[in-house]
Each structure stands twice: as C-alpha cells, then as structure tokens.
Amino acid sequence: MLHDFVPPTPRQGPRRRPVFAAAALAGVCLTAAGCAGDGGPGPGAGPESASGPASSTPSSTPSPRRSPVPDASPSSGTASAKPLPRGPLSGRTVVIDPGHNPGNRDHTREINSQVDIGTGRKECDTTGTATDSGYAEARFTLDVSRRLRTLLEEQGAKVVLTQDGDRAFGPCVDERARIGNRERADAVVSVHADGSATGNRGFHVILPAAVNGGGADTAGIVAPSRELGERIAGNFVRVTGSAPSNYVGGDTGLDTRDDLGGLNLSTVPKVFIECGNMRDPADAALLTSAGWRQKAALGIADGISSYLKR
C-alpha cells in the first residue's frame, strides 16, 4: 500500500479478461520495450497461470536463478559493504525503497507529521496494510527488497536501500525521494503491496505524471520512468505468472499518478510496484509464500536489468 496518497475508487463490475494476459503467458511481451535484453522466453509481468488469474496456492517452484528461502536476513546499513562482482550492471546504482517500516506502528506521532511533497503536504508515512492473517506489508516489502538487492548485486550493481530494518521508523516520503536523488541512481523502485477489497487482484506499476509545482518537477523523468515501469511489468508477468491488476490501470498493469511525493520529488527515473492485494485471499497466499516472493524479486530485477542494459 502506498504511503502518501488516497487510493482511487476501484472499478466495479466483473473482471474483463484482457487479450494481454493470455498473450503474456504465451511468451509475448507487455510492451516492445519489455522484450529487450530479457534473455529468456518472452516477458510478461506478474503471477498468472494460463487458465486465468494467479493460483491461490502459493508456488514453491524454485526461482530460475535462486532457490526460494525463508525471509531474507538483514544486513548492516543501507548499502552492502562487500565487494561487488564484475557484471553487466557494474557501474550502475539502483535504489530500492521498501515501502513503510515495521517500526512505524510504534511511532504514529512521527509518521503522522506533515512533510512537503512539492505540490502540497502529506503525512510522513503510514504503517501500511497487512493480510487478514497479520502478515504486514512492511515485512513483505523489506523481504522482497533484500532479495532484489542480492539479485542485482550478483550482476555488479551498487544497490542502496532507503531502509533496511535499521531505523526506528520511516524514512518519510520526502527523504525517500532525496535518497535516490543523492545517489544519482540510474533507477529507483519502491516496493509495495496493496490493501484493496477482496476480489481485487493482480499487480500494478505506478508511473510519475508530469508535475511542475512547488518543489516538484518531473519533466525529466516521465519518459525514462515509463520505460522502466514497462520493462518491470513485462518481466513481472513472465517470471511470476501474475496478471495485471483488475481494478487499477485498465488491465494494463500501469497507472500514472500525480499525487505521490516519492515520485513528485524524484529527479531520477523512479516507479512504484504494488505486487498484489494483501486483502484478497488468493493474492495473500502468494504474497506470504517465500517462493513467490523470490519470483517477485526476480521479475523486478529482470525488469531493472533490461532497462539499464538497453
């Protein structure tokens, strides 16, 4: 769940089965951009089977690169201190932003404080959502982000996390944006999971809109952020089998927003990804599976890698 906006009103009515979903599962890319540099069968994005939406049974199939493991263990600091191998992403910097923070729930006064998001003021952060069984979004985002860091570092990228379980709360949305800007990141991805109604399923990638007001000016990042988002969406389908959201983005898996401080204040290419809906039982079964979280990290990593190697 995003931390600085009011969710849109979900589309009503039965889910329309887009041609995209079937095509993606047959090995067709979400976009032409999503195909380049993926190094595997045609991309797609998200967790979906050929017979329809993602199965409600968590997948235990090992990732093509790494076997699924329990919650990834933390490391000290926000950037790895270990030497990086030489690889196709050597010299590149990626900032991963794990949405929310497990400690936010104990610091409501601090996270409710208002911060400047360029076009107005909003809360510093929120606690995020959780599954009905109590698995917190903040735990999910941190676990996926650590897995994603490992995959990108294996390709030689410098990876910085905005928080790694090493802060009592936050950071606030404005600081999250500043971290990516300060690092002059080649790409920034904010990892989330949604908290919508039961029956609303699938992932979506949020792209920055053209915003110019206050301290926000996204003119220079709109186009590259869209390409980054398209490549992530295409690879997320391919790796996880998940379908694009049936309630946001018109079945495209992409949603453009102008009210997110994390995007408005960014000066480098940045997107958000809502990996699924924690309040839908079928999606929750995926999100709570360590094996599926590894696939989610791999899909995002392949999208970032494809974008950086273009």
pLDDT of residue 67: 36
Which domains does the chain show, CATH number per domain? 19-47+92-308 (3.40.630.40)
154 is catalytic: no
Is the separation of the CB atoms in 121 and 115 below 8 Å? yes
Say if residue 233's pLDDT is above 60.
yes
Q: If pLDDT is split at 50, 70 and 90, which confidence band does 81 have?
A: confident
pLDDT of residue 78: 66
E strands along the chain, which residues?
93-98, 114-116, 121-123, 158-161, 187-194, 204-208, 212-213, 216-217, 254-257, 270-277
Among 183, 165, 296, 172, CA closest to 239: 296
Give mean pLDDT, residues 292-309: 98
239-282 pLDDT, tens digit per residue, is 999 999 999 999 999 999 999 999 999 999 999 999 999 999 99
Say if residue 189's pLDDT is above 60.
yes
Kindly name the residue from 48, 175, 230, 274 that is annotated as catalytic: 274
User: Comparing 113 with 5, which gets the higher pLDDT?
Assistant: 113
- Percentage of residues in the chain with pLDDT exceeding 70? 75
Q: Bridge-partner residues for 130, per DSSP?
A: 136
Q: If pLDDT is split at 50, 70 and 90, which confidence band does 288 have?
A: very high
Q: If pLDDT is split at 50, 70 and 90, which confidence band does 59 have?
A: very low
For residue 284, the SS3 value is helix
pLDDT of residue 9: 37
Give mean pLDDT, residues 202-230: 96
Is the separation of the CB atoms in 44 and 237 below 8 Å? yes
Say if residue 147's pLDDT is above 80.
yes
Say if residue 51's pLDDT is above 50.
no
Among 178, 147, 152, 151, CA closest to 164: 147
Say if residue 21's pLDDT is above 50.
no
Is the separation of the CB atoms in 10 and 196 below 8 Å? yes
Range with lowest mean pLDDT among 74-78, 84-88, 117-121, 188-192: 74-78
Q: Bridge-partner residues for 244, per DSSP?
A: 203
- Percentage of residues in the chain with pLDDT exceeding 90? 71
Give mean pLDDT, residues 33-47: 31
* Sheet of 187-194, strands arranged across: 158-161, 93-98, 187-194, 270-277, 204-208, 254-257
The DSSP-derived string for 32-88 is: HHHHTT--SS---BSS-BTTBSPPSSPP-PPPSSS---SSPPP-SSSB--SPPPP-T
Q: Mean pLDDT of all residues in the chain?
A: 81
Between vectors from CA 138 to CA 308 and to CA 83, what angle results, nearest 5°? 45
Range with lowest mean pLDDT among 54-58, 100-104, 209-213: 54-58
pLDDT of residue 217: 96
Residue 271 in tokens:
């997107």
Range with lowest mean pLDDT among 65-69, 142-146, 217-221: 65-69
Residue 267 in tokens:
């000066």
Q: What is the pTM of this model?
A: 0.78
From residue 89, how far is each of 93, 140, 154, 159, 187 by CA, in Å?
Answer: 8, 26, 9, 11, 12
Q: Environment class of residue 299 by beta-carbon count within 10 Å: exposed (0-12), middle (13-18) or buried (19+)?
A: buried
Residue 144 in tokens:
């996926």
Residue 263 in tokens:
């995007």
d(CA 168, CA 107): 8
Q: Bridge-partner residues for 188, per DSSP?
A: 95, 270
pLDDT of residue 1: 64
pLDDT of residue 76: 32
Q: Does residue 102 have a cis bond before it (omega within 30 degrees)?
A: no
Say if residue 139's pLDDT is above 60.
yes
